[in-house]
Amino acid sequence: MRFLEAVLRTVRHSRRLATGLVILGLMVLLALLSPLIVKAIGGSTDPLELAAYERWLVPGPGHLLGTDQFGRDVFAMVISALAVSLQIGAIAGLISTVVGVIVAFVAGYKGGWIDGLLSTFTGILLVIPTFPLLIALSAYAKNVSLFQVGVMISIFSWPFAAKTIRSQVLSLRSRPYVDLARVSKARDLEIIGTELLPNLLPFIGVGFASSALGAIFGLVGLEVIGLGPGGVIDLGQIIFNAINTGALTLGAWPMFVVPIALLTLLFAALNMINIGLEEVYNPRLRGVAGE
């Protein structure tokens, strides 16, 4: 309950954070309702079935966004792909955040050579172009489950979370109340659990949002060059299909414009949450990002 109040208070302080959360919430809701929506569109037939309708129908009252080269309803496809994209983002974001938090705590709290080693490693992963590595990994990952895709993508998105959280651990670790806990002989884990972690929650949120963003970005990247893992239809794959089946020349714009618009909205929402959280909790930035 206290936690909820704190969240509400935070949201009230930043219109940007609130906007981001509302957009994200609506998208999650849409994704949760996707089976119902797909059913409502199809009626008795499955709108995602091959040759459910005629091919290349133009958008109209029957099919809001038309149909694709196999006669599937584009609107239904987009809605269910949105659910997949969000799931990937959530899975990969969660894994990355957990790894990032662990690395950040070990590095930032312990300091010394461990910090040097871990930070150099994180830094290298952040600076070098990792997309070729991700592409290569995906080339050998056909027929994988949604969860496995998430794991695969998080190999490259945890440094985003680690970097954000480590810098906060560094600044928190020298605060008076941590010193107090230390002189009163609290164990490291105790200090981390009771003193550091609660104060880091907003930044863990930032880490989650940025790695989820990085993960969806990565998967879309893989999908649009046709190297996405098999068995997963996310928004990126719809864009890939659109390009490869000539939707560009046929003028079937809904097939790529709608997924792009949805993903852009998602990226915008995640970024708003990031910046909103930073604004509220990082006093140095307060009002800096501005209206």
Query: Residue numbers of the site for other proteins (CB under 8 A)?
Result: 16, 112-113, 115-117, 119-121, 123-133, 135-137, 139-141, 213, 217, 220-221, 224-225, 227, 239, 243, 248-249, 251, 253, 256-257, 260, 263-264, 267-268, 270-272, 275, 284-285, 287-291
- In the bound state with other proteins, the residue whose beta carbon lies nearer, of 106 and 141, is 141
- In the bound state with other proteins, the residue whose beta carbon lies nearer, of 191 and 258, is 258
Least distance in angstroms from the C-beta of 133 to other proteins: 6
Least distance in angstroms from the C-beta of 263 to other proteins: 7
Least distance in angstroms from the C-beta of 97 to other proteins: 17
Which positions ≥6 away from 260 have C-beta within 8 Å?
A: 239
- In the bound state with other proteins, the residue whose beta carbon lies nearer, of 48 and 81, is 81
Long-range CB contacts for residues 77-80, cutoff 8 Å, separation at least 24: 77/47, 77/48, 77/233, 77/238, 78/235, 78/238, 78/258, 78/259, 78/262, 79/30, 79/31, 79/34, 79/37, 79/38, 80/34, 80/35, 80/38, 80/48, 80/233
- In the bound state with other proteins, the residue whose beta carbon lies nearer, of 70 and 121, is 121
Least distance in angstroms from the C-beta of 288 to other proteins: 4
- As a whole number of angstroms, the distance between CA 143 and CA 135 comes to 15
Least distance in angstroms from the C-beta of 253 to other proteins: 7
- In the bound state with other proteins, the residue whose beta carbon lies nearer, of 197 and 227, is 227
- In the bound state with other proteins, the residue whose beta carbon lies nearer, of 11 and 268, is 268
Least distance in angstroms from the C-beta of 180 to other proteins: 27
Tell me the CA distances in angstroms from 198 to 3, 190, 194, 219, one per residue in order. Answer: 10, 12, 7, 31
